[in-house]
Structure 1
Amino acid sequence: MTPRSPSVNEELRRRSRERILEATAELVARDGYEATTLGDIAERAGVARGLVSYYFPGKRQLLQAAVHRMMHLRLAGALEREPRTEDGAERLARAIDAILGLAVERPTLMRTHMAVILQDDGFVQCEEQRRLAELLRDTVERFGSPDVGRDYPLLRALLMGAVVAVLLPGAPMPMARLRAELFHRYGLAWESGVPPDGGPPDGMP
């Protein structure tokens, strides 16, 4: 049997890693974080249990990578969807709508993610997080920021705060109100991005 080339091996590793991340997102969303085991994830992904541990040192790191991948894919799709645009304001509107949309559509997964990163061990840097950060930084730059190093962390913090507000048990904020506040802050037209039905909330432009 002819040995596989390095490029083929790399592609197989990439596909295995992606299946693990997809399985993690699906199972945590369905069964919850505590009930989902690494064995469950391996079985769902169709890989050996040891391969999960080879790529990820623990379930917390795996969950963060899975959610960051989901956010990156959603954001990339929103920014590049038709009609394609290079307009910085429209791209920022799409970015805000993409992240807020995930909080509404995948509440269990996003709530679990926020709870995990607020624990003592905190935020984990990973390949998926870096890809997400690059897209958000590029969005801030195209929007015309004179200081991306200052404005990117602020946008990230505002989006995280809005996600928490949407997901807050017992006292959630309406997504449309949070969207309107963010759009007002950045001077974005309500019609940009993917506006929700019903128009802007009362009292908002």
Structure 2
Amino acid sequence: MSPRSAAVNEELRRRSRERLLQATVELVDERGYEATTLADIADRAGAARGLVSYYFPGKRQLLQSAVHRLMHRELAAGLEREPCTTDGRERLARAIDAILGLARDRPRLMRTHMAGMLTAEGFIQCPEQQRLAFLLRDTVARYGSADPDTDYRMLRALLMGAVVAILLPGAPMPAEQLRAELFQRYGLAWGLGVPPSAEPPAEGF
């Protein structure tokens, strides 16, 4: 049997990494961060335990990459859903709704992710984060930003703050109110994106 080509080996490595990232999202969502071990992740992914350490220096880094992958995929799906559009305001509305939707639908996972970025490791650069950054930067550019690099960072900060506010234990803010604040900031009509209700919340909600 002839040895596998470099391209085949690269594809196998990519698939193994993808399985580990998917398994991490599933298990942390189901069990929580502390109850999920690297061995559990490897078992769920059908991979050798040593493969986890080959790709990631630790569980915290693995989780960040896994959640950034999920965010990237959700954002891409939201931006490209039917009917497809190139309208910058509609795409920004979809982006906001995609990220806020993750806070609503995956509270345990997103709370763990946000808490992890406040640890000593901080914000970790990885291929998944770079894909997410590209989509957000492209979104503000299509919206009409004259300085997409700066405005992308502002949008990222505002979205992170909104997610934290939604998930804050004991004092969560309503997602609809946060959506309304973001839409007002960017001059977006409430009916753009995927509105959670026919009308925005009343002032002072």
Q: TM-score, normalising length from structure 1?
A: 0.98
User: Any idea what SS the aligned residue of 1:44 has?
Assistant: helix
Distance 2:17 2:42 in 1: 11
- Once the two structures are superposed, residues 74-116 of structure 1 have per-residue CA deviations (whole angstroms, 9 ceiling, x without a partner) of 0000111111100000000000000000000000000000000
Distance (Å, rounded) in 2 between the aligned partners of 1:198 and 1:83: 19
Residues 1:194 and 2:194 aligned together:
yes
Point out where structure 2 has 5 or more consecutive residues left out of the alignment.
none
1:150 is displaced (CA, Å) by 1.5
SS at match of 2:201: coil
How much has 1:11 moved relative to structure 2?
1.0
| Equivalent residue number for residue 139 of structure 1 | 139
Percent identity between the aligned chains? 74
In structure 1, distance between residues paired with 2:155 and 2:125 = 18
User: 1:150 and 1:76 mapped to 2: Cα distance?
Assistant: 21
Are the counterparts in 1 of residues 24 and 62 from structure 2 also a CA contact under 8 Å? yes
Any residues of structure 2 matched to 1:87-106 within 5 Å, and which?
87-106=87-106
Q: Deviations over 1:177-201 (max 9, x none)?
A: 0000000000001000000025210
Counterpart CA distance in 1 for 2:150 and 2:57 is 32
What residue in structure 1 maps to residue 162 of structure 2?
A: 162
Letter in 1 for 2:111: R
Report what 2:15 is aligned to.
15
Which amino acid in structure 1 is aligned with residue 17 of structure 2? R
Match of 1:117 in 2: 117
Write out per-residue CA displacement over residues 147-172 of structure 1, whole angstroms, 9 at most, x where no aligned residue. 11211111000000000000000110
Q: Which amino acid aligns with 2:135?
A: L
Question: Gapped runs of 5+ residues in structure 1?
Answer: none
Aligned-residue offset at 1:6: 1.3
Q: Which runs of 4+ in 1 moved over 4 A?
A: none
- 2:118 & 2:157 partners in 1: Cα distance? 13
State the one-letter code of the partner of 2:139: T
Deviation at 1:8, TM superposition (A): 1.1
2:183 aligned partner: 183
1:81 maps to 81
**Pairwise CA RMSD:** 0.9
**What is the rounded CA distance, in whole Å, between the counterparts of 2:96 and 2:90 in structure 1?**
10
Instruction: State the SS of the aligned residue for 1:151.
Output: helix
Query: Which residue does 1:203 correspond to in 2?
Result: 203
Q: Give the corresponding residue for 1:56.
A: 56
Cα distance between partner residues in 1 of 2:197 and 2:186: 21
Per the normalisation by structure 2, the TM-score is 0.98
**What residue is the counterpart of 2:151 in the other structure?**
151
How far apart are the structure 2 equivalents of 1:122 and 1:53? Answer: 19
- Whole-angstrom distance in 2 between the partners of 1:89 and 1:8: 41
Do the aligned residues in 1 keep the contact of 2:191 with 2:198 (CA within 8 Å)? Answer: no
Distance in 2 (CA, whole Å) between partners of 1:45 and 1:79 is 29
**Match for 2:162: what amino acid?**
A
Q: Distance in 1 between matches of 2:82 and 2:10?
A: 31
Q: CA deviation digits over 1:37-84, x for unaligned, max 9?
A: 100000000000000110001001000000000000000001111111
Alignment check: 8 A CA contact 2:93 2:193 kept: yes
